[in-house]
Structure 1
Amino acid sequence: MTADHFFRRGLRPLLVFLFFFSLTSFSKSDELQPLLEFKSALQKSNPNVFSSWTPGNSTCSFSGIVCNSNGFVTEINLPQQNLSGVLPFDSICKLQVLEKLSLGFNFLHGGISEDLKNCTSLQQLDLGMNSFSGEVPDLSSLGKLKLLSLNTSGFSGQFPWRSLENLTSLTFLSLGDIVFEESPFPVEVLKLEKLYWLYLSNCSLGGRIPEGLGNLTLLENLELSCNQFSGEIPGDIVKLKNLWQLELFNNFLTGTLPVGFGNLTSLVNFDASGNSLQGNISEMRLLKNIASLQLYDNQFTGEIPEELGEFNKLVSFSIFGNKFTGPLPQKLGSGANFVFIDASDNFLTGPIPPDMCKNGKMTYLLLIQNGFTGGIPENYANCSSLRRLRVSNNSLSGLVPAGIWRLSNLSAIDLAMNNFEGTVPKTWAMGSSLLMIALSENQFQGQLPRSMANCTMLKYLDIGNFSSRLSVLQLQSNNFHGTIPKTWAKGSNLRMIDLSENQFQVEGSRCPF
């Protein structure tokens, strides 16, 4: 081999090395200017965020910046930094290996320029919870995206749904709470088989929810609430066995729950309220991991599955405004830190389950307008966490447990339109937060306790002190007696008063009413 040949063989790789070294050095130094332009666009909103963004520092030491092992910027992480301004995507997308742009929960505004298409290395784009305007530009070139979060970002117009055909790597898609132009469910979503998170609530979608969602078998969260969807819940949704949250509330859905709905045994939160669903909920007996079950404002019928009483994770249960019959499971809440129940406006009967406040966590007990019988279980006299106790318009009877009158956290006590009897204790220890007292149409008797004069926050009263906020006083159809001071009505905002069918006397008068 000649020396000349040897020299040429050795020189070639050296030249290649020098070329790439020169290119690399140039590219790294060239990243400073785009970042300084980014800083210039947003600095006035929060200069403290950019205090480290100076030419004297390495770009990799800038706050919120992450670099790879070669020193190139791969991430801009500045969520919740009170940033305001218009994003300079013409500068941002000069960062050739930028993989993550996280700017959620700020006050960014203005439009998103077409320059976004040049950010072809992006894998995560989070611009949610901002105040942008205009339309979302075409996203087709961002084929590496795994996470796209734009919820509550202020955009409008038509979303480029067709772009999603190229974003087949998406695992997380959040486009909710944006006033887009009305459109049907985007069928492009059905091809995103890697999705585990899909949030399309309140983004102007309508028509039917299509079959095909069942093919997105990795889904753990599916939120389609507050749209204009109609028709039935698609049957193949029962294939999504990894779902822990399913939210369909405030649509126009009809029909019954799909056959096999009980297969969704991973469900923790299910909310289908505010629709026109019907039929029974017998398959709910299999959802042992459910913690929050919201079915209110529908047309469900039949009985509540007894198995719900065995669920030791169920803490929130709302079924008001349906047509349920039969009893509530008597073990309901006994094995869980039960917090909330609203079974009002149904046709339920039987006794109130005794142990819903067994663990001392329950705040709301709402059973208005049913056919419950028996009394208020003694256990609730010790439920110090209780804030609202409303059981009016039932067939309850007997004495109210004495401890009920001593629950200091109550903001509402509503026992009206039942058959309760006995007296209201003179030592009723009502808390200062009490806003509502309703005892009308029972068999109470005796004098009103003077302690009611301390309830200065009352807004609705059918036994108590007139306050400047009071607008309604209803005490009719009881056996109360005693004297009502004339000063009670002084300065009040009463619009309605009914003291009929009692034995009251107004101060200075001999005439009972």
Structure 2
Amino acid sequence: MQVAPVSNLCKLQILNLRYVPINDVLANLEMVFSGCLMNSMEELDLSGTQLSGSFPDWLGNIKNLKSLDLSFNSLYGSVPASIGNLSLLQHLYLGSNYLNGTISKGIGQLKSLVDLDLHNNSLSLSEDDLANLSSLKYLDISYNFIELNKSDDWIPPFQLQSLFMYFCQIGPTPQFPKWLRTQTTLRLLQLSSAGIKETLPNWLPSSLRYLDLSNNEITYDVQQYFPNLIMLDLRNNSLSGHLPPKILNMMPRLKYLSLSNNKITEVKDMFLDGLPSSLEHLDLSYNSLRGSQLVSLGNLYMLRSLDVRSNNLNGMHPEGIKRLKGLIDLDLYSNSLSLSEDDLANLSSLKYLDISYNSIYLNKSDDWIPPFQLNALLMEFCQILPMPQFPKWLRTQTTLDKLYLSNAGINETIPNWLPSGLEFLDLSNNMIDGEIPQFLSKLKYLFLSNNSFSGNLSPRITNTMPRLQWFDLSMNNMSGEIPFSYCQLRNLEGLQLYENNLSGVAPNCWKNSSNLLLLDLSSNKLVGGVPDSICNLQTLESLHLSHNNLSGSIPLCLKSCTELATLDLGHNNFIGNIPTWIGESLLYLKTLSLRSNAFNGSIPQLSSLPSLRILDLSNNNLSGMIPQSFGDFNALKSTPTYQCCYFNNNTIYVEDMWLFIKGSEIKYTTTRQLSIDTLIDLSNNNLSGNIPEELGNLHGLRSLNLSKNYLIGQIPWSIGGMKQLEVLDLSRNNLSGAIPSNLTALNFLNRLNLSYNNLSGRIPTGNQLQTLNDPSVYAGNPNLCGPPLTKNYTLNIAKVEEEEQNEDSSERRMKTLWLYTSITLGFIIGFWAICGSLCCYGHGGSHTSAPLIACLTSYTW
């Protein structure tokens, strides 16, 4: 963007270019402001305009400037002292840049400053820098460093209304700034994630309305009266045992209280029985509450939201819940409560209910109409008594749009009366049968995996559920072909049909599925090749076609699916070379499985894939050497960080695939962290040559399987540096030499197989290897000795020495024989050379050749 002279705008007082991407035009702006605008400009807003470079010193020349906003840019370095020239400046916003170093003295001279926002930089400041800011009302120094260098009785010249210090490093000993006691007008205080380790002080300003002290290590002994406090957030601290008695009496106006993720065991006396409370939102989740303490909460008549998830609450029919008639959100997830429909009968305002991991007794008649209209009902892993079934009152919930009933043991046909307004329906992991629901026209997410559905897939899905974004029908008994209509779901992001009995060819109709992220057709009976239309899926992140009868080669056009993170084509009949373009075009790959096919040729260059964590090329016909570049996989060089799911457009999805780990094939699921999440498997091929030393660079690798090949040479010493290794299988090769002693340093190693090689010498002992005492680990190596093998080490050494002596004697005999042979041949040749010359000379020079031949042939050997 070019900024032309604007001399005709000399009276311009406000310039707002907020979030206009003008990039780096600071030099041009300086030329503009060098004229009359230097005297007229009062407000300058350049926030989010992609400015970069050092802080512009010339801004200190705009004398009448009252408001300056440079936040959300890429400015770096320090704030120049010239900013102190802006004596009229009232509002300064520099948040979310890359400013660092000590804060300039210039800011400390801005006595008119009302708002100062420095959040999300790397600035260092002290209380001295604030000592002259007598007009300050709003201060945000989050994500910076502040030194509390004043004495405890220091009284600042300002009276703040809002103070933000979250993720602020407070000196060498994090603590509450003592001058907070003087801030009698302070309404909002945010000191979350500041590393504070002390008791909640009793001298905080009573003027506070919003107090956020979350994510510290604060303990408490509430003795102070907070007449104005509306919100108190103490989640993720070190609160334990009982809450202080009558805590709510000390805060009569409190509406929001979060004590989540502490170690609180008791809340029975947190308020005075019979005293009306203003509390509307109470979060006690992730604590250690036990017994039937919900009774004590029954007097919180104004309560709208109650969250006690993940505690140890138990007992029958919690009376306290019945009295909370104003409840809108009730979260009882993961306790051991025994509820009944009677406990819900008075909750006329209820919209959100989570009773997962509890039990509920359906004691009302089938025609019972609840007083509430839910928007969301979560009953995952919920024991439904007296028999697992769909609660009949679900038919009355006309506003219900989310229903979670997975893992509830339901064994019946899916009803045709489920609420028609459902957008999210999860019935996975039950024993439900019947027809796939065709009446839920608003449905976006449908999860029916691991049930008893059977028959053919309905081709009417496009008409009956046109909004469908995610469809999971995996692990059922569906048969027949995949209808082409599934490709016509334009909003479809995920299709999971794995582990069924589907047959025929994979449909070649995906050209218009422009939003598809995951396609899993694995573990069926599909034939043919990879459909070419899949290459049109530019957004595809995960493709699973394993465990089918697919054949042919991997189509070249698949290289256009550049967003692929998972490519799983294992257990098919694919042939040809592994394409080189995989390592050149699919740069987001995290998982590549081509195991159990008929690929041949050498392994291509793949080390340019920076995110690759799982590589399985086992059970093919690959030949040649293991590339040395395999030591360059960036994602395997350091300890892996686990990511459970993929995220795209606020969609969370999980995926499954089969991996051969620890001697058996297991299902790898991204929703849980297995002990193995980084793997290289090249086993059962025709690979030859040495194991590259460079593999030792893969310090984050947890499983390495090179078994059943034709590898030679010694086991590289560098493998002992792969500290995360849990599985190492080098069996059934032609490896020789000693086992590296530094394998004892692999503290996580729990499966080792070095059998059927030509290894020799003593087996290393110590540390983790002591636990791997199965002799089969070392079987088929006749020259290995020592525990856990029964072969005596001393006798074996003597045998080796005897063999070496025998080899030495044989070698000496051969050398002696060659010496004598050489001497004899030398004598014969020398003797006959002289004799031949004399013989020839005696016969004259005219017929030299015939006598010479006669001399030589007359000798009897």
| TM-score (normalizing by structure 2) | 0.46
Q: Is 1:461 matched with 2:664? A: no
Q: Could you say if the C-alpha distance between residues 75 and 159 of structure 1 is closer, same or farther in structure 2, counting changes exceeding 3 Å?
A: farther
Q: Counterpart of 2:695? A: 452
Q: How far did residue 369 of structure 1 move?
A: 0.7
Q: Counterpart of 1:15? A: none
Q: Could you say if the C-alpha distance between residues 442 and 62 of structure 1 is closer, same or farther in structure 2, counting changes exceeding 3 Å?
A: closer
Matches within 5 A, 1:474-513: 474=731, 484-488=736-740, 493-495=751-753, 497=755
Q: Is 1:185 matched with 2:390? A: yes
Q: How far did residue 133 of structure 1 move?
A: 2.3
Q: Could you say if the C-alpha distance between residues 187 and 462 of structure 1 is closer, same or farther in structure 2, counting changes exceeding 3 Å?
A: same
Q: Could you say if the C-alpha distance between residues 155 and 392 of structure 1 is closer, same or farther in structure 2, counting changes exceeding 3 Å?
A: closer
Query: Quick one: which amino acid aligns to residue 380 of structure 2?
Result: G
Q: How far did residue 119 of structure 1 move?
A: 3.8
Matches within 5 A, 1:303-322: 303-308=505-510, 310-322=512-524
> In structure 2, which of residues 515, 540, 548 is the aligned counterpart of residue 346 of structure 1?
548
Q: Could you say if the C-alpha distance between residues 151 and 301 of structure 1 is closer, same or farther in structure 2, counting changes exceeding 3 Å?
A: farther
Q: Counterpart of 2:333? A: 129
Structure 1 SS opposite 2:455? coil
Query: Quick one: which amino acid aligns to residue 475 of structure 2?
Result: G
Q: Could you say if the C-alpha distance between residues 110 and 295 of structure 1 is closer, same or farther in structure 2, counting changes exceeding 3 Å?
A: same
1:14-62 Cα deviation digits (max 9, x unpaired)? xxxxxxxxxxxxxxxxxx9xxxxxxxxxx966859996x335x543x44
Query: Quick one: which amino acid aligns to residue 413 of structure 1?
Result: L
Q: Counterpart of 1:149? A: 353
Matches within 5 A, 1:410-429: 410-428=612-630, 429=632
Matches within 5 A, 1:225-374: 225-229=428-432, 231-234=433-436, 237-263=437-463, 264-282=465-483, 283-308=485-510, 310-332=512-534, 334-354=536-556, 358=560, 360-374=562-576
Q: Could you say if the C-alpha distance between residues 180 and 349 of structure 1 is closer, same or farther in structure 2, counting changes exceeding 3 Å?
A: same
Q: Could you say if the C-alpha distance between residues 240 and 50 of structure 1 is closer, same or farther in structure 2, counting changes exceeding 3 Å?
A: farther
Q: Does the 8 Å CA contact 1:117/1:142 hold for their aligned counterparts?
A: yes
Q: Does the 8 Å CA contact 1:233/1:257 hold for their aligned counterparts?
A: no
Q: Is 1:54 matched with 2:249? A: yes
Q: Could you say if the C-alpha distance between residues 279 and 48 of structure 1 is closer, same or farther in structure 2, counting changes exceeding 3 Å?
A: farther
Query: Quick one: which amino acid aligns to residue 77 of structure 1?
Result: H
Aligned residues: 441
Q: Could you say if the C-alpha distance between residues 453 and 93 of structure 1 is closer, same or farther in structure 2, counting changes exceeding 3 Å?
A: closer
Q: Counterpart of 2:370? A: 166
Query: Quick one: which amino acid aligns to residue 245 of structure 1?
Result: Y
**Which structure would you say has the larger Rg?**
2
> In structure 2, which of residues 553, 572, 582 is the aligned counterpart of residue 380 of structure 1?
582
Q: Counterpart of 1:63? A: 256
Q: Does the 8 Å CA contact 1:351/1:373 hold for their aligned counterparts?
A: yes
Q: Counterpart of 1:117? A: 322
Within 1, Cα distance between the matches of 2:514 and 2:696?
A: 42
Structure 1 SS opposite 2:615? strand
Q: How far did residue 188 of structure 1 move?
A: 2.9
Q: Counterpart of 1:3? A: none
Q: Could you say if the C-alpha distance between residues 218 and 461 of structure 1 is closer, same or farther in structure 2, counting changes exceeding 3 Å?
A: same
1:434-456 Cα deviation digits (max 9, x unpaired)? 95333344444444322134446
Within 2, Cα distance between the matches of 1:207 and 1:374?
A: 48
Within 1, Cα distance between the matches of 2:300 and 2:752?
A: 68
Q: How far did residue 315 of structure 1 move?
A: 1.5
Q: Could you say if the C-alpha distance between residues 258 and 444 of structure 1 is closer, same or farther in structure 2, counting changes exceeding 3 Å?
A: same
Q: How far did residue 218 of structure 1 move?
A: 1.1
Q: Could you say if the C-alpha distance between residues 370 and 185 of structure 1 is closer, same or farther in structure 2, counting changes exceeding 3 Å?
A: same
Q: Does the 8 Å CA contact 1:364/1:386 hold for their aligned counterparts?
A: yes
Query: Quick one: which amino acid aligns to residue 442 of structure 2?
Result: N
Q: Which runs of 5+ in 1 are unaligned?
A: 1-31, 33-42, 66-71, 501-505
Q: Could you say if the C-alpha distance between residues 458 and 177 of structure 1 is closer, same or farther in structure 2, counting changes exceeding 3 Å?
A: closer
1:343-385 Cα deviation digits (max 9, x unpaired)? 2111112332556675654332221111123333333213343
> In structure 1, which of residues 102, 105, 109 is the aligned counterpart of residue 306 of structure 2?
102
1:314-349 Cα deviation digits (max 9, x unpaired)? 122222221122222234265434322222111112
Within 2, Cα distance between the matches of 1:75 and 1:162?
A: 35
Larger RCO, structure (CA 8 Å, separation 6 or more): 1
Q: Does the 8 Å CA contact 2:338/2:361 hold for their aligned counterparts?
A: no
Q: Which runs of 5+ in 2 are unaligned?
A: 1-226, 228-238, 259-275, 639-676, 708-714, 759-782, 785-799, 805-861
Q: Does the 8 Å CA contact 1:473/1:498 hold for their aligned counterparts?
A: no
Q: Could you say if the C-alpha distance between residues 49 and 79 of structure 1 is closer, same or farther in structure 2, counting changes exceeding 3 Å?
A: farther
Q: How far did residue 89 of structure 1 move?
A: 4.2
Q: Could you say if the C-alpha distance between residues 174 and 386 of structure 1 is closer, same or farther in structure 2, counting changes exceeding 3 Å?
A: same
Q: Does the 8 Å CA contact 1:330/1:352 hold for their aligned counterparts?
A: no
> In structure 2, which of residues 291, 295, 298 is the aligned counterpart of residue 92 of structure 1?
298
Within 2, Cα distance between the matches of 1:397 and 1:90?
A: 70
Q: How far did residue 162 of structure 1 move?
A: 4.5
Query: Quick one: which amino acid aligns to residue 576 of structure 2?
Result: G
Q: Counterpart of 2:593? A: 390
1:194-233 Cα deviation digits (max 9, x unpaired)? 32111111222212112233xx22110111112222x333
Q: Counterpart of 1:35? A: none
Q: Does the 8 Å CA contact 1:405/1:425 hold for their aligned counterparts?
A: no
Structure 1 SS opposite 2:588? coil
Within 1, Cα distance between the matches of 2:694 and 2:245?
A: 56
Query: Quick one: which amino acid aligns to residue 373 of structure 1?
Result: I
Q: Could you say if the C-alpha distance between residues 171 and 161 of structure 1 is closer, same or farther in structure 2, counting changes exceeding 3 Å?
A: farther
Within 2, Cα distance between the matches of 1:256 and 1:238?
A: 14
Q: How far did residue 419 of structure 1 move?
A: 3.3
Matches within 5 A, 1:32-43: none
Within 1, Cα distance between the matches of 2:551 and 2:246?
A: 64
Within 2, Cα distance between the matches of 1:447 and 1:496?
A: 15
Q: Is 1:78 matched with 2:282? A: yes
Query: Quick one: which amino acid aligns to residue 459 of structure 1?
Result: S
Q: How far did residue 475 of structure 1 move?
A: 5.9
Within 1, Cα distance between the matches of 2:727 and 2:523?
A: 28
Within 2, Cα distance between the matches of 1:49 and 1:304?
A: 66
Within 2, Cα distance between the matches of 1:46 and 1:294?
A: 48
Q: How far did residue 246 of structure 1 move?
A: 0.5
Q: Does the 8 Å CA contact 1:168/1:191 hold for their aligned counterparts?
A: no
Q: How far did residue 102 of structure 1 move?
A: 2.9
Once superposed, what is the RMSD of the aligned Cα atoms? 3.9
Q: Counterpart of 1:199? A: 404
Query: Quick one: which amino acid aligns to residue 361 of structure 2?
Result: Q
Within 2, Cα distance between the matches of 1:107 and 1:370?
A: 47
Q: Could you say if the C-alpha distance between residues 306 and 191 of structure 1 is closer, same or farther in structure 2, counting changes exceeding 3 Å?
A: same
Structure 1 SS opposite 2:380? coil
